[in-house]
Amino acid sequence: MGKLYLVPTPVGNLEDMTFRAVRVLKEVDLILAEDTRTTSFLLKHFQIENKMLSHHKFNEHQTVAGIAQRIKAGETIALVSDAGTPAISDPGFMLVRECVENGIEVECLPGATAFVPALVDSGLPNDRFCFEGFLPQKKGRQTKIKELAEERRTMIVYESPYRLVKALRQFAEFMGNDRKVSVSREISKLHEETVRGTLVEVAEHFEQNEPKGEIVIILSGKPKDED
């Protein structure tokens, strides 16, 4: 029987790729890529010549069973997303579940992910936190934000740069203008930036400075004195 590797790829700087990740991608029988064009650039940079197959959120429902069977038949397969660790707000969970249910060995390499640097950089408590990923865009969004307003732990939220200011204003509406927040963008890239302050202060900053790139929001939990 083969094996499934989940291989993190850089969220920005290509120097964040590990030696082990490069070796695994060279040695496996097949690489599953969220976007083969994006992964082609990565493979070329590290002189990796290997077969690729597209594996993304639009086809994973149909492909996981077949991929699991290929691994059971002896193939070793690696899964990568466009950036970061597969299955963290990216395709991967369904394939891992299918492999686990079929007794197939799964190994996730340690490596790049966007929310850990953002959390550590924030200066907010990180001994306990909850990862929320992308919030619902429309249906259920307000309900979710109301729920998070009662959360004691530090919260991690992914957001589009086009919706960032609106999101910060929505958080302020339900959590109060003075709730502490840290917004990191373009992590590990040339124009990396972290802006810290209250929800109102950070919203005003990005109203005056249009945000670009990947966004991670770190929200402080509900203070005890707000009960």
pLDDT digits (tens, 9 = 90+) for 148-188: 999 999 999 999 999 999 999 999 999 999 999 999 999 99
Average model confidence (pLDDT) across the chain:
95
Residue 210 sits at φ, ψ, to 5 deg, of -55, 120
Q: What pLDDT, on the 0 to 100 scale, is given for residue 227?
A: 61
Give the phi and the psi of residue 2 in degrees, each rounded to 5: -85, -150
Q: How far is Cα 196 from Cα 137, in angstroms, rounded to an integer? A: 24
Average pLDDT over residues 207-227: 91
Tell me how far the alpha carbon of residue 211 is from its chain's centroid.
18
- Tell me: domain 3-108, CATH 3.60.70.12, correct? no
Local confidence band at 57 (pLDDT 50, 70, 90 cut-offs): confident
| Predicted local distance difference test score (pLDDT) of residue 1 | 87
- pTM for this predicted structure: 0.91
Kindly report the CATH number that applies to the domain delimited by 115-226.
Answer: 3.30.950.10
Helix (H) or strand (E) holding 148: helix 141-148
Q: Domain map of the chain by residue range?
A: 3-108, 115-226
pLDDT in tens, 83-138: 999 999 888 999 999 999 999 999 999 999 999 999 999 999 999 999 999 999 88
> What tens digit of pLDDT does each residue of 166-176 get?
999 999 999 99
Q: What is the mean pLDDT of residues 65-76?
A: 96
**Maximum separation of any 2 CA atoms in the chain, in Å:** 59
The reply to whether 3-108 and 115-226 are identical in fold is: no
Q: What is the DSSP string of 156-216?
A: EEEE-TTTHHHHHHHHHHHH-TT-EEEEEESTTSTT-EEEEEEHHHHHHHHHHS---S-EE
- Local confidence band at 62 (pLDDT 50, 70, 90 cut-offs): confident
